[in-house]
């Protein structure tokens, strides 16, 4: 149980375009979903926390207009990187938490490369 | 401020031996959770084990156990009988109490290499 999927797993796009990443909880309802960014050989950096039906809470220094988060249902959250630039190239990983505990279950991640 | 410290950037262990990965934390919250995750080269984060701050006994999950010393604010992960497949990055994380959506704070990670 507690499976989280993420799509796409890899994406290459041109500078200036927008990219949407989907995060789905497959076998449970996710009370809260989280979006992280990870640079090579570094730890995970929390970008934002999202709850179904409400606006996401962004961490300090994360541009909310750049990284649009939509938590449309209890099983789906999306992250849209708008007007992507090469410095946005990174590994983006989502996690989901059910209402039974604190554990976050992570998706497999999305590797974004902006040319 | 919440802080998680993993002081071992890299560790080596011989196959079939036990290994301890260190994690210390700093928080003023009375209620918190401690977690360990494994991240292989593929990038996925695999949940290993959880310890609640009020749990009296140390958590165990198969070959994983968490050596929780509350007074010392440490939550070390012990892997018994290491296997080649255990080679990966390991992250310690702490969650705050429920009012903050259980946001996680991650340590910098320890890269474990299991030698045959």
Q: Could A102 and B33 be called an inter-chain contact, meaning their C-beta atoms sit closer than 8 Å?
A: yes
Round the average pLDDT of chain A to a whole number and report it. 94
- Nearest CA of chain B to the CA of A45: how many Å? 8
Chain A residues near any Cβ of chain B (below 8 Å): 2, 32, 34, 38, 42-44, 46, 49, 51, 57, 91, 93, 95, 97, 101-109, 111
Structure tokens at A41: 């050989």
DSSP assignment letter at B16: T
Q: What is the mean pLDDT of residues A43-72?
A: 92
> In angstroms, rounded to a whole number, what is the distance separating the alpha carbons of residues A64 and B40?
30
Q: Are strands A32-38 and B3-5 parallel, antiparallel or unpaired?
A: unpaired
SS (H, E, C) B24-77: EEECCCCCCEEEEEEECCCCCCEEEEEEECCCCCCCEECCEEEEEECCCCEEEE
pLDDT digits (tens, 9 = 90+) for A76-115: 999 999 999 999 999 999 999 988 888 999 999 999 999 9
Neighbour tally for A61: CB within 10 Å: 7
Out of B33, B42, B107, name the one closest to residue A43 (CB): B107
- Residues of chain B with pLDDT > 70, as a percent, come to 94
Task: Give B14's strand partners.
Answer: B115
Angle (nearest 5°) at CA A109 between A108 and A112:
150
pLDDT for position B1: 60
Structure tokens at B42: 């593929």
Q: Taking a C-beta distance cutoff of 8 angstroms, is the pair A92, A112 a contact? A: yes
Q: Could A57 and B107 be called an inter-chain contact, meaning their C-beta atoms sit closer than 8 Å?
A: no
pLDDT digits (tens, 9 = 90+) for A8-17: 999 999 999 9
A60 neighbourhood in chain B, CB within 8 Å: none
Out of B33, B44, B95, name the one closest to residue A106 (CB): B44
Q: What is the mean pLDDT of residues B81-91?
A: 98
């Amino acid at each position: 149980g507690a499976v989280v999927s993420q799509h796409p797993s890899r994406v290459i796009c041109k500078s200036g375009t927008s990219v949407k990443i989907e995060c789905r909880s497959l076998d449970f309802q996710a009370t809260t979903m989280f979006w992280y960014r990870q640079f090579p050989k570094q730890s995970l950096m929390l970008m934002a926390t999202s709850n179904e039906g409400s606006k996401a809470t962004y961490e300090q220094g994360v541009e909310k207009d750049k990284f649009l988060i939509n938590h449309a249902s209890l099983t789906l959250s999306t992250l849209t990187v708008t007007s992507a630039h090469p410095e946005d190239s990174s590994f983006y990983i989502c996690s989901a938490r059910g209402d039974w505990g604190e554990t976050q279950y992570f998706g497999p991640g999305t590797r974004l490369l902006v040319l | 401020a919440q802080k998680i410290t993993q002081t071992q950037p890299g560790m080596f262990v011989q196959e079939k031996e036990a290994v301890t990965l260190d994690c210390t934390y700093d928080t003023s919250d009375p209620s918190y959770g401690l977690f360990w995750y494994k991240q292989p080269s593929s990038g996925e984060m695999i949940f290993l084990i959880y310890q609640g701050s009020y749990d009296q006994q140390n958590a165990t999950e198969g070959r994983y156990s968490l050596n929780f010393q509350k007074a010392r604010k440490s939550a070390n992960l012990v892997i018994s009988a290491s296997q080649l497949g255990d080679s990966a990055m390991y992250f310690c994380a702490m969650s705050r109490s429920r009012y903050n959506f259980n946001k996680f704070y991650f340590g910098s990670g320890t890269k474990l290499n299991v030698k045959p």
